[in-house]
Amino acid sequence: MESEQFEKYQVFTEKTINNLSQQIIALENKLNMFTNLLEISKYINQYIKDPNLFPLINDMLIGVFGAKYSSIYIKLNSEYYEAAAQTNSGYLIEDEKKLIQEHQEEEFIINSNTPIYEKQVDEDSIYSCVGVPVKVDNRLLGFILIQHKEKNYFTKDHAVFLSSIGNHIGVAIENNYLYKRIKESAYRDGLTDIFNKRYFFETLNLIPNLAELNYSIAMIDLDDFKKINDTYGHPYGDCVLKVVANIIKNATRTNDIVARYGGDEIIIFFSDFTDKDKVMNRVEWMRGEIEGAVINNEGISSSVTASFGVYTKNNETLLLDEVIKKADDNMYLSKRRGKDKVTIN
């Protein structure tokens, strides 16, 4: 009898110890999450005006969750734009946006036995995903997605933790956006409303390891612009600059930088865009649009052409000034070849 009671007591004790151990592990996990939350919050507050804030937060989320991908989106005018995305394919970004819309922009957890994205059928396929909205005062500012290759990876605790981070990121989005608006007002060209030369260099010089990154630079110079000013007057010349700047701006992506380099020169930084055929097609389209535009202002109707010089920096180490010099040389080569042309290498 005493032996049976001892065995029951032993089983009860082992079960109790196991339960306590599980509770301790759960508490440790929550403590770790709380510690990480404090660290991320501290980091956000410290670097809230840093133009690279969101990519840096994204890297932290990757590490905290041990995830494959992490994406932060900002919602502007009913559209989502990636503030930071750790994805290896452009199509995945579009699929992420679709996933957000399918869940009515509300918190969700997906744990699937098959790849979440149909186009992914390799070792990098995603099986688990947690998404939370980013809100401030019940206003939807964006969305965060964390994705993992492991099956059944995410729990409600992950969602709660990510929502807590989302609150801090919401404040960061709002403050960072307001800061950027104020900053951009000092970095915009007053005539064309594209960026100015100061913004161009200050922004690019903040990019780590720019000398090793792949990108393209395009230099654009209006042909015979002095003759246009002398013939039609400076107000018409100003109108020409506005029209040309708008054409170029509309033909670039959100992560490219278009700036007035000086006088009638405009410079473009094409981020991670070095396929020469695709770059050539994009720039050639700009040239054709400028050539075909009929510019009307105060009874004057005329047109203008532009010469383009492009350099694609691909898998080589060059300083920004060196790349600009190569693009500028190509632009002058276009001038010598008869103007209204694109020279690229």
CB 289 within 8 A of CB 304: no
Strand (E) or helix (H) holding 196 = strand 195-196
Residue type, 84: A
CATH 3.30.70.270 segments of the chain: 195-344
CATH 3.30.450.40 segments of the chain: 2-187
What is the helix, strand, coil percentage profile of the chain, to 5?
Answer: 50, 25, 25
Homologous superfamily, domain 2-187: GAF domain (3.30.450.40)
- Cα–Cα distance measured from residue 286 to residue 342, given in angstroms and rounded to the nearest whole number: 10
Bridge partners (DSSP) of residue 147 are 69, 129
C-alpha pair distances (Å), 179 with each of 69, 109, 173, 174, 286: 28, 33, 10, 9, 32
State both tokens at 262.
């000086």
- Cα–Cα distance measured from residue 193 to residue 187, given in angstroms and rounded to the nearest whole number: 9
Q: What is the pLDDT along the chain (345 residues), one digit of tens a residue?
A: 566 665 665 666 667 666 656 655 554 555 466 566 667 777 777 776 776 778 888 888 888 888 888 889 988 878 888 777 665 445 678 889 999 999 999 999 999 999 998 776 667 789 999 999 999 888 999 999 999 999 999 999 889 888 988 888 888 888 877 667 777 778 899 899 999 999 999 999 999 999 999 999 999 999 999 999 999 999 999 999 999 999 999 999 888 999 999 999 999 999 999 999 999 999 999 999 999 999 999 999 999 999 999 999 999 999 999 999 999 999 999 999 999 999 999
| Architecture in CATH for domain 195-344 | 2-Layer Sandwich (3.30)
Model's pTM, two decimal places?
0.53
Bridge partners (DSSP) of residue 57 are none
